[in-house]
Amino acid sequence: MNPIINIDFAKTIEQSEVDTMSSRLTAIKSIEDNPMKVEVKDFGAATAFSVKNIPGPSFNTVKGLHYTDVNLLDEIIAFYDKKDIPCRFEVTPAHASSDLFFKLAHRGFYQTGFHTALYSTPSVNNNDLLNSDISIRKIEENEFDIFAEIYVKGFKMPDFVKNGVAENNKILYDDENWKFYLASVKNEPVGIGVFFVKNGTATLAASATLPDYRNKGIHTALLIKRINEAQSMNLGLVVGQAEFGSTSQTNMQHLGMNIAYTKAIWEKGSNDYSVWKKR
């Protein structure tokens, strides 16, 4: 049976996400001359992640923000403004307050979406759900070009970022806390899954499937492989993230993962009221 969510347990789940991002970006930063321009900085309980040369919100975001950090909001925003990077806050129910939301809104931020955190104890083997046509194995060090191809196509990213995706994941290959999996159908690589371990927690760090192979059990198979790996390692907790209401969330729930919470995504809006009147 999965443990019941309370404030302390919710913080544990959120910390696993912070730890995963910190590990990944620290490794990317260690590449000679820090070509991606990575910086990670703590502000109270919050951790601000910044990757200047990887555009978009995935790596340029604030996690762990606590309602007691409201007096640090201006410092956090200035941290991103100096880099000319949009600032994005991820706020969980465990750390939220009306004062925090008010002060974010007062600084021109507004809620743009939701994201779901899920969890389970890795105690159930679901091999009976596996499609026999799907095979999964660990990725070899010389296969991160394949990983990048699937990742980029799966997330509908431009082709020019493939080399960066390959390098930024290959740097983690020798880190014992990271594992990378390749899913194939009839020897054709079609999906990837990533797994991070720290403090007895397994984080389902990323997963992607080629568009032509979606709804064929690839994502579920990669989930099962990683959950079973967590079970074999005697880990106490599996944590995953998914867009609210997505197929990924549904697949996780079908495998026994529970919703821990849905966090609010806050991004910068316009200070021009006339823009808001047109919405």
Residue 269's pLDDT band, with cuts at 50, 70 and 90, is confident
Q: What kind and span of H or E run contains 222?
A: helix 218-232
Backbone angles phi, psi at 161, to 5 degrees: -90, 0
Query: Hey, is 134 helix, strand or coil?
Result: strand
Residue 102 token pair: 């008010």
Per-residue pLDDT at 154: 94
What is the average pLDDT across 233-257?
Answer: 94
Q: Is residue 90 situated within a structural domain?
A: yes
Threshold 0.85, pTM exceeds: yes
Express each pLDDT in 73-132 by its tens digit. 999 999 999 999 999 999 999 999 999 999 999 999 999 999 999 999 987 566 666 677
DSSP code string of 189-215: EEEEEEEEEETTEEEEEEEEE-GGGTT
Give the structural domain span for 211.
127-235
Same domain, residue pair 110 and 42:
yes
CATH of the domain at 200: 3.40.630.30
Express each pLDDT in 160-208 by its tens digit. 889 999 999 999 999 999 999 999 998 999 999 999 999 999 999 999 9
Residue with the bigger pLDDT between 279 and 236: it is 236
Q: Is residue 251 situated within a structural domain?
A: no
Distance, CA of 43 to CA of 76 (rounded, Å): 7
Number of domains in the chain: 2
Residue 127 token pair: 């091999």
Residue 168 CA to chain centroid, in angstroms? 15
Residue 36 CA to chain centroid, in angstroms? 18
How many other C-beta atoms lie within 10 A of the C-beta of residue 154? Answer: 21
Distance, CA of 2 to CA of 172 (rounded, Å): 30
Distance, CA of 70 to CA of 123 (rounded, Å): 39
Contact present, 257 and 122 (Cβ < 8 Å): no
Per-residue pLDDT at 275: 41
Residue 107 token pair: 């600084």
Express each pLDDT in 208-219 by its tens digit. 999 999 999 999
Express each pLDDT in 270-279 by its tens digit. 554 444 344 3
Task: Go through 225-260 and write b for each residue having 16 or more CB atoms within 10 A of its CB, e for each that does not.
Answer: bbbebbbeeebebbbbbbeeeeebbebbeebbbeeb
Same domain, residue pair 140 and 185:
yes
Residue 46 CA to chain centroid, in angstroms? 16
Same domain, residue pair 79 and 141:
no
Express each pLDDT in 6-62 by its tens digit. 999 999 999 999 999 999 999 999 999 999 999 999 999 999 999 998 877 889 999
Contact present, 100 and 70 (Cβ < 8 Å): yes
Same domain, residue pair 109 and 22:
yes
What is the average pLDDT across 239-243?
Answer: 94
Same domain, residue pair 230 and 155:
yes
Same domain, residue pair 109 and 134:
no
Q: Locate the DSSP E strands across 64-213.
A: 88-91, 109-120, 134-138, 178-185, 188-198, 201-209
